[in-house]
Amino acid sequence: MDIQIGTRATKQVGSDRYPYEVIGMTASKKTLTLRELKPVHVSGNFRSGDAVYTFAQDPSGPIITARLSAKHKAFRTDSCFVYIGEANYYQDPNF
């Protein structure tokens, strides 16, 4: 995958997912700086799992750093996985 500034990403926290975008990276692309996007509800119901969102840039959104883990062959931040290529938002209504 060709990672560039603006590439969308999803941070997975348990069953919850949060949308991010790449705002910086090292030359090797093994460390990424990401900023959280603001989910904008378009349609559907989050409780039934069919909610549809678009994502807006949020200049004041939280910023995280994700590093490529050789062990997991995936990007990680803290104890969470970060999936590159698509932004997704979901908060489990059971918690």
Query: pLDDT tens-digit profile of 57-78?
Result: 999 999 999 999 988 889 999 8
Structure tokens at 70: 């050789």
How long is the chain? 95
Distance separating the N- and C-terminal Cα atoms of the chain: 34
- This prediction's pTM: 0.90
3-42 per-position pLDDT tens digit: 999 999 999 999 999 999 999 999 999 999 999 999 999 9
Tokens of 84: 């590159």
